[in-house]
């Protein structure tokens, strides 16, 4: 297989799956991992892919923020496992912030209806699910609603968060790395997420491993500000070790 043909197959797979891994590409293409790394470097120089830890992502993924519906359908079983593990972090009779996003929505879907809990959220989808739960004291943060994510943003969301203290914040992210922290493409959502971090005694990050090394424009927290990272078993061991060295507990589900 010529290099051009091999690189085209890499681009096609990256666009189909949203991410490619060096070792998996080497196996499927029947070449050495060093050959794959050279191909990824060449594709990055051409502006087709962006290198991340252990692989690469298509540039389209960086430029276009996926909708909540698109994210909910991706890695749904992985997100459900992460959400199930997140239930162990909930305080009995306490208070939590539930961020917007597909994994946070999976948490809302798993919350027992009679659970004694105060929930603050800026997610319209999560609030709709929780509004009929008799045991939950629900607060919906206001503001402008972003059609892409269904999240309320702006001063009507950040203002109330500045005046509260909750036990646990369950946070989502578009990307994370020890170097760049937790990042998201939209500034208004970043400001709300930052306010959530500040309002919580304990911060728990819910993220699938595909977001490792994926850095976006706006940082809302450093890794050291996170107490627990709940992710899936595909997270690279080196990345997990880097996260632990930075401070948080890393749990895989």
**pLDDT tens per residue, range 46-59:** 778 888 888 998 87
How remote is the C-alpha of 97 from its chain's centroid?
15
pLDDT tens digit sequence for 78-96: 999 999 999 999 999 999 9
How remote is the C-alpha of 109 from its chain's centroid?
17
Cα 114 from Cα 106, distance rounded (Å)? 17
pTM: 0.78
Q: pLDDT band for 236, please (50, 70, 90 cuts).
A: confident
How remote is the C-alpha of 58 from its chain's centroid?
17
Query: What residues pair up with 139 in beta bridges, in sequence order?
Result: 120
What pLDDT does 74 receive? 66
CA nearest neighbour of 223 among 190, 176, 184: 176
CATH class in words for 3-62: mainly alpha
Across the chain, mean pLDDT equals: 92
Q: pLDDT band for 16, please (50, 70, 90 cuts).
A: confident
The mean per-residue pLDDT over the stretch 113-127 comes to 96
What pLDDT does 172 receive? 97
CB 232 within 8 A of CB 82: yes
Lowest mean pLDDT of 10-14, 159-163, 227-231, name the range.
10-14
> What's the distance, Cα to Cα, between the start and end of the chain in Å?
38
What pLDDT does 70 receive? 63
Whether the pLDDT of residue 17 is over 60: the answer is yes
Residue 148 dihedral angles phi and psi, to the nearest 5°: -65, -40
Q: How is the chain split into domains, by residue range?
A: 3-62, 68-252
CATH code for 68-252? 3.40.50.1360
CB 228 within 8 A of CB 249: yes
Percent of the chain with pLDDT over 70: 94
């Amino acid at each position: 297989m010529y290099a051009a043909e091999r690189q085209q197959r890499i681009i096609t797979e990256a666009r189909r799956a949203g991410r490619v891994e060096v070792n998996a590409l080497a196996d499927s293409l029947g070449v050495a991992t060093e050959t794959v790394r050279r191909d990824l470097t060449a594709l990055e120089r051409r502006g087709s892919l962006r290198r991340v830890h252990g692989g690469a992502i298509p540039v389209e993924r960086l430029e276009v923020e996926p909708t909540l519906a698109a994210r909910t359908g991706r890695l749904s079983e992985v997100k459900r496992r992460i959400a199930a593990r997140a239930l162990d972090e909930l305080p009995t009779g306490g208070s939590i912030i539930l961020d917007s996003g597909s994994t946070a929505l999976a948490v809302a879907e798993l919350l027992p209806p009679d659970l004694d809990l105060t929930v603050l959220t800026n997610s319209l989808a999560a609030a709709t699910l929780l509004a009929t739960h008799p045991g939950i004291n629900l607060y919906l943060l206001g503001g402008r609603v972003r059609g892409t994510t269904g999240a309320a943003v702006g001063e009507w969301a950040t203002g109330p968060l500045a005046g509260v203290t909750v036990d646990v914040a369950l946070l989502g992210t578009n990307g994370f790395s020890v170097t760049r922290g937790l990042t998201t493409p939209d500034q208004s959502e970043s400001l709300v997420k930052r306010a959530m971090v500040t309002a919580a005694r304990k911060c728990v990050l819910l993220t699938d491993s595909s977001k490792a090394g994926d850095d976006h424009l706006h940082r809302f927290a450093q890794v050291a500000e996170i107490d627990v990272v709940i992710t899936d078993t595909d997270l690279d061991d080196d990345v997990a070790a880097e996260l632990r060295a930075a401070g948080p507990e890393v749990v895989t589900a």
